Amino acid sequence: MTTLVVGATGKTGRPLVEQLLGKSHKVHVIVRSSHTNKRGQTTVS
């Protein structure tokens, strides 16, 4: 089975992806990109 997980690095998405992969499912993920600003803080967009 192939599954798309939106928010795969979040509180719910991360364990879900791990569980799906553990059951040999094919997983596609969508995550927000992050970058470091001038103050050294990581932000997501």
> Domain locations in the chain?
2-44
pTM: 0.69
For residue 7, give both structure tokens: 């928010």
**Angle, alpha carbons 35-44-12 (nearest 5°):** 130
Q: Distance between CA 8 and CA 20 in Å, rounded?
A: 12
In DSSP terms, 44 is beta-bridged to 34
Instruction: Classify the C-alpha dihedral 14-5-30-12 as positive or negative.
Output: negative
- pLDDT tens for each residue of 1-44: 999 999 888 889 999 999 999 999 999 998 877 666 677 766 65
